[in-house]
């Protein structure tokens, strides 16, 4: 995780286009100015950032399913449950499943586990739009490479 | 088996918390019922699931933006239900 860049996942470890699922991993930094305020003397990963991590995981799944033809923008969140505290330095397993790919939107169900413990889960809706410009798309392709997004799998899925 | 309109009206009522008896076949989803684009995503999801279809919202929106269609053609509920019936018929063909 690079919180200062709003990069909430480290690596995509599995992408199954047939099952329309994705798995990713992330390690919460041991230190961040965020933990100085959230909370002094009791640092916790903010729930809103856990939700963003689920959204980013889901977003890469949607990008995969739509073959990099649409950019998913976070639009709605339902049934979000923050079930357990996540502390600095912990390793997270993130996963998402596509519930529906509509015309111009997609819905996923996502969760984060810390070890065997379910940390949070939610249903997330995205608006799908064409990439607004080539520079933005290029930046997403660059990020895909950083995250080891299996872009080659899209041609065979 | 409920009609297409009954199903759609119930979805709209439940999704947007609009009293069911105010939703009529001639109601316009945007102009009369005040449904915004984000709420309509929820409605579209529920309709897609209920009827096993994929409403071509991007195409409809493009046609409206290009002046090739009016919002009435897609978002007045009796017209919307006709479109849904057509999509269901195509799926079953």
Q: Which of B38, B49, B55 sits opposite A103 (nearest CB)?
A: B55
Residue A156 appears among annotated catalytic residues: no
For residues B34 and B62, the answer to whether their CB atoms sit within 8 Å is no
E strand or H helix at A15: strand A11-16
* pLDDT for residue A152: 79
Structural domains of chain B in order of their starting residue, each with its CATH number: 4-92 (1.10.1200.10)
Domain range enclosing A24? 3-156
pLDDT band at B2; cut points 50, 70, 90: confident
Does B38 contact A76 at a Cβ distance shorter than 8 Å? yes
ipTM of the complex: 0.89
Greater model confidence, B1 or A54: A54
CATH at residue A95: 3.10.129.10
Q: B56 and A107 in contact by Cβ < 8 A?
A: no
Cβ contact, residue pair A125, B41, below 8 Å: yes
- DSSP states along A131-152: -SSHHHHHHHHHHHHHTT--TT
Distance from CA of A128 to the nearest CA of B (A): 9
pLDDT in tens, A42-72: 999 999 999 999 999 999 999 999 999 999 9
Give the model's pLDDT for residue B23: 97
Helix axes B4-16, B37-51, angle to 10 degrees: 140
Angle made by CA atoms B80, B81, B87, in degrees to the nearest 5: 95
Beta carbons of A105 and B57 less than 8 Å apart: yes
Contacts of A65 (CB under 8 A, 6+ apart): A17, A20, A98, A101, A106
Distance CA B18, CA A132 (A): 35
Is the pLDDT at A125 greater than 70, yes or no?
A: yes
How many structural domains are present in chain A?
A: 1
Q: Which residue of B has its CA nearest to A76?
A: B38
pLDDT digits (tens, 9 = 90+) for B60-90: 999 999 999 999 999 999 999 999 999 999 9
Q: What percent of chain A has pLDDT over 90?
A: 95
């Amino acid at each position: 995780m690079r919180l200062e860049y709003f990069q909430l996942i480290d690596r995509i470890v599995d992408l199954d286009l047939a099952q329309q699922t994705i798995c990713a991993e992330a390690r919460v930094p041991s230190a961040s100015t965020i933990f100085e305020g959230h909370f002094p003397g009791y640092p916790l990963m903010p729930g809103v950032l856990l939700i963003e991590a689920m959204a980013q995981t889901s977003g890469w799944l949607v990008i995969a399913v739509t073959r990099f033809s649409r950019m998913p923008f976070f639009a709605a969140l339902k049934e979000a449950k923050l079930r357990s505290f996540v502390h600095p330095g912990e390793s997270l397993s993130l996963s998402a499943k596509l519930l529906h790919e509509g015309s111009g939107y997609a819905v996923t169900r996502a969760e984060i586990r810390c070890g065997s413990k379910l940390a949070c889960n939610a249903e997330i809706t995205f608006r799908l739009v064409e990439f607004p410009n080539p520079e933005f798309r290029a930046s997403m392709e660059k990020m895909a490479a950083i995250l080891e997004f299996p872009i080659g799998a899209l041609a065979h899925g | 088996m409920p009609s297409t309109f009954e199903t759609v009206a119930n979805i709209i009522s439940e999704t947007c918390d609009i009293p069911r008896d105010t939703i009529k076949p001639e109601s316009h989803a945007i102009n009369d019922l005040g449904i915004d684009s984000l709420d309509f995503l929820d409605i579209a999801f529920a309709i897609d699931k209920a009827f096993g279809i994929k409403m071509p919202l991007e195409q409809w929106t493009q046609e409206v933006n290009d002046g090739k269609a009016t919002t009435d053609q897609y978002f007045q509920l009796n017209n919307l239900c006709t479109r849904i019936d057509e999509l269901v018929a195509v799926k079953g063909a």
